[in-house]
Amino acid sequence: MNTAYILVALIMFLFALDLMISSLQQLGQTAAETIILATSNPFTGFFIGLLITAIVQSSSATTSMAVALTASGAINIGNAVPIIMGANVGTTITSMIISLGFITKRKEFRRAVSAGAYHNFFNLLTAFILFPLEYYYGFLSNLSQYIATTFFHQPTGPMNGTFSFLGSGFGPAIDFLINSINNGFLILLIAFLLLFSSILFFRKVLSSLLGVGSPDRFQQFFFKMPIKSFGWGLLTTALIRSSTVTTSLVVPLVAKKFVKLRLAVPFILGANIGTTITAFIAASFNSNAAISIAIAHFLFNFIGVLVFFPIPYLRKIPINLANGLGKLTLQYRLVGFLYLLLTFFFIPFSLIYLNRNAVAVHELTYLRQDFISGKKTFYKVITKTYANQPVTSWMVYENSSGKENDPTQIISVYRTRNRLFINQDLYELNSPGFCHDEADEGGKHQICITQLIDHLPITAELSVDSVYVFEKKYYTTADSVSTLSYISATENLLVRKEKRDKNGNVITRDELSALRGN
């Protein structure tokens, strides 16, 4: 019977994720723009992950949503990694809240705060090490994408395209819900409730099966040896899919002196690794960048364990910080409560507010010329560049649909060193003559750098620097047109795009004609 319940919870979990992705895609480009803006700044993304997890008290729900957002194309992995980091810190709030339950007994309260704070300090210290590396160098996102590409054969670059778990098995049910409700926000709410409920249901079934609710059983089996304790923490958390439950049970054990904090540490670290299983389940049926997020989640916790577990001196740092906070609560009992409010609410909201203007917005006007018909049209592109982030979004307003306020296309631009991704097209900023092969729905093609222009005047008032001219040719037929893309490396901006016939005559040209900043 328990096996049937577990299977039901798993199917419910995957269905909820698929429904969430479908609802995000149905909400359209405006919703995608809002999500991109909300997560574009790494600080904002980090504290959004922290706050959501602190509110719902489940990092599993937050990391699953990060997978769903990436799979839907709303954000890329560079936006998702800070959310994952924040979720790891936010999940420790439950242990801190449980420790407050011992506030009437001074010594027990001190030990409970120490146990609750250890998990928090460990994840905070790991974030202090890895967040700057991700912020300046894209350490986790690049490493996870490299692992995904090398070992799982998943493509790098921004997400684009459709996503579905278990093939199309959920398709009819999801289509029925979408057609019946026809409200993207309501479907998103239903999906989130299903997702959260499936995690709680799965947790309850496994907790009952393992007898995790008994502190005596915990103490007897899980804390005898450090390696065994680490393994049990990893295994039970992976099965229950919640480090919140397993680490929170440690708090009363330490408070009541059943277990010393130093003996509980390996179990907590194992639980930190075990909780990453949810992201892997969420990404296991995805053919795109979601697997990279699962790897990034694992790497964050695994690197933290490598830093703070094997070396005795470093292992003592979070323990000493936790014990220090515990001792401080002996003198001032409100310290634990104030620490919780500052760490999980006041500081996150303050930093989100201070980083609210980290997006540079430009409005560009392009002139499109059709040299066969002689027709000329203008269209607008809004670009959003995010401070210290390699991602830019282009929102194209062509107004051909009659919806003047809605973009007809959102283009994701991602820059990593000398590689520039424009949606799924890769442009390598190399020397003239450099070529590489690619393939898309049109077939196999070659992209070559034909020219590098140091300074290109556009109008009397507008010019751009370091313009690479890329020529794209398909191998399929000799009559196929070629496409020339003029890309500014300094601005990560498409300046001009031409389609030419086999004789080199220009068929159509899109060219930047005006630029306004915010």
Mean pLDDT of the chain: 76
**pLDDT score, position 426:** 82
**pLDDT score, position 154:** 52
206 pLDDT higher than 90:
no
Q: CA 243, CA 84: separation in Å to the nearest integer? A: 14
Instruction: Write the pLDDT tens digit of every residue in 82-94.
Output: 888 988 888 887 7
Confidence of residue 6 (pLDDT cuts 50, 70, 90): low
The encoded tokens of residue 107 equal 């010594």
Region of residue 241 (phi > 0: left; psi between -120 and 50: alpha; otherwise: beta): left
User: By C-alpha distance, which of 437, 435, 385 is closest to 414?
Assistant: 385
Asked which of 196-200, 249-253, 271-275, 405-409 is least confident by mean pLDDT, the reply is 196-200
Q: CA 26, CA 383: separation in Å to the nearest integer? A: 23
Q: Taking residues 445-468, what's their average pLDDT?
A: 88
Provide the percentage of residues in the chain whose pLDDT is more than 70.
Answer: 70
Residue with the bigger pLDDT between 243 and 485: it is 485
Q: Out of 276-285, 290-299, 356-365, 485-494, give the one with best mean pLDDT.
A: 485-494
Q: DSSP string spanning 78-91?
A: HHHHHHHHHHHHHT
Confidence of residue 434 (pLDDT cuts 50, 70, 90): very high
DSSP H or E segment with residue 376: strand 376-386
Q: Taking residues 203-218, what's their average pLDDT?
A: 53
317 pLDDT higher than 90:
yes
Q: Taking residues 433-437, what's their average pLDDT?
A: 90
167 pLDDT higher than 50:
no
Asked which of 43-57, 234-248, 313-327 is least confident by mean pLDDT, the reply is 234-248
User: By C-alpha distance, which of 194, 232, 193 is closest to 211?
Assistant: 232
Burial class (CB within 10 angstroms; exposed 0-12, middle 13-18, buried 19+) of 172: exposed
Q: Which domains does the chain have, with CATH numbers?
A: 2-354 (no CATH), 359-517 (2.40.360)
Question: Vertex 435, ends 432 and 438: CA angle to 5°?
Answer: 145
Confidence of residue 125 (pLDDT cuts 50, 70, 90): very high
Residue 452, beta-bridge partner list: 468
Asked which of 30-34, 147-151, 266-270, 501-505 is least confident by mean pLDDT, the reply is 30-34
**pLDDT score, position 338:** 87
H-helix segments, 275-377:
277-283, 290-308, 312-331, 334-341, 347-354
CB 276 within 8 A of CB 298: yes
Side-chain-side CA neighbours of 295 within 13 Å: the count stands at: 21
**pLDDT score, position 451:** 92
User: By C-alpha distance, which of 157, 421, 155 is closest to 287?
Assistant: 155
DSSP H or E segment with residue 435: strand 435-440
Compute the CA torsion angle 56, 58, 64, 68 (nearest 10 deg): 10
Q: Taking residues 400-411, what's their average pLDDT?
A: 60
Residue with the bigger pLDDT between 162 and 315: it is 315
